[in-house]
Amino acid sequence: MQRVTMMDVAKLAQVSPSTVSLYLRKPAAVSAAAGQEIARAISTLGYVPNLVAGGLAAASSKVVSIIVPSIRNAFFAETVSTLQSELAAEGLQVLLGHSEYGEDQEEALVRTALSWAPAAVVLTGLSHSAETRKLLQASGVPVVEMWELGGKPIDMAVGFSHPHVGASAARHLLSKGRRAIVFLGARMQEDHRAEKRASGFAETARMGDVLSYEIINHPGAATVEAGSLLLTRALERIPNLDGIACSNDLIALGVLFECQRRGITVPDDIAVVGFGDLDFSASCIPSLTTIRPSGDLIGREVARLILNSIQGERPEGSARIIDTGHVLIERRST
Q: Which residues bind a second copy (CB under 8 A)?
A: 1-3, 48-53, 55-56, 59-61, 63, 70-72, 74, 77-78, 80-81, 84-85, 88, 91, 93-98, 100, 109, 111-112, 114-117, 138-141, 223-225, 227-228, 250, 253-254, 257, 260-261, 279-280, 282-285
* 305, interface contact from a second copy, DNA, none, CB < 5-8 Å by kind: none
Choice between 23 and 213, CB closer to DNA: 23
3-state secondary structure 256-325: HHHHHHHCCCCCCCCEEEEECCCCCCCCCCCCCEEEECCHHHHHHHHHHHHHHHHCCCCCCHHHHEEECC
Task: Tell the smallest beta-carbon distance from residue 16 to DNA (Å).
Answer: 3
d(CA 122, CA 116): 14
* 206, interface contact from DNA, a second copy, none, CB < 5-8 Å by kind: none
d(CA 61, CA 8): 23
Which residue blocks in 89-161 are alpha helix, DSSP H?
103-114, 130-139
Task: Tell the smallest beta-carbon distance from residue 272 to DNA (Å).
Answer: 54
Which residues of this protein are in contact with DNA, per CB under 7 A? Answer: 2, 5-7, 14-19, 21-22, 24-25, 29-31, 33-35, 49-50, 53-54, 56-59
* 141, interface contact from a second copy, DNA, none, CB < 5-8 Å by kind: a second copy
* 155, interface contact from a second copy, DNA, none, CB < 5-8 Å by kind: none
Choice between 34 and 108, CB closer to a second copy: 108
d(CA 216, CA 204): 16
d(CA 3, CA 126): 44
* 130, interface contact from a second copy, DNA, none, CB < 5-8 Å by kind: none
Task: Tell the smallest beta-carbon distance from residue 113 to a second copy (Å).
Answer: 8
Task: Tell the smallest beta-carbon distance from residue 135 to DNA (Å).
Answer: 15
Which residue blocks in the chain are alpha helix, DSSP H?
6-13, 17-25, 32-45, 51-58, 74-88, 103-114, 130-139, 162-175, 192-207, 224-237, 249-262, 295-310
